[in-house]
Amino acid sequence: MNLIHFVALQAEKKNKKLLSFTDNTNVLEDAAKTTVEQLHNEINALDVRIKKIRKQIETPTTEAEIKAQMTEFLQVRQQIIAL
């Protein structure tokens, strides 16, 4: 028995559903086709959108409640993108 067999047995003991991950391998295949460059492009596009939203909420016509909600949202998203 090797390590992978041991891990599979332990997973089966804990929760048999853990072994059904192979049902979604098509998602893994699609993810494997994604390049690092594509990921960088998507992150950069998100960064641009976040900056646009930030400018929009800074306008004087933006309601205070919306500004508060969006500011919190933007702070969290900016931290995620910075990772």
Is residue 81 within 8 A of residue 46, CB to CB? The reply is: yes
- pTM greater than 0.75: no
Average pLDDT over residues 49-59: 87
Residues 6+ positions from 66 with CB-CB distance below 8 Å: 57
Separation between Cα atoms, residue 51 and residue 62, nearest integer Å: 16
pLDDT in tens, 6-49: 888 888 888 888 778 777 777 777 778 888 899 899 988 988 98
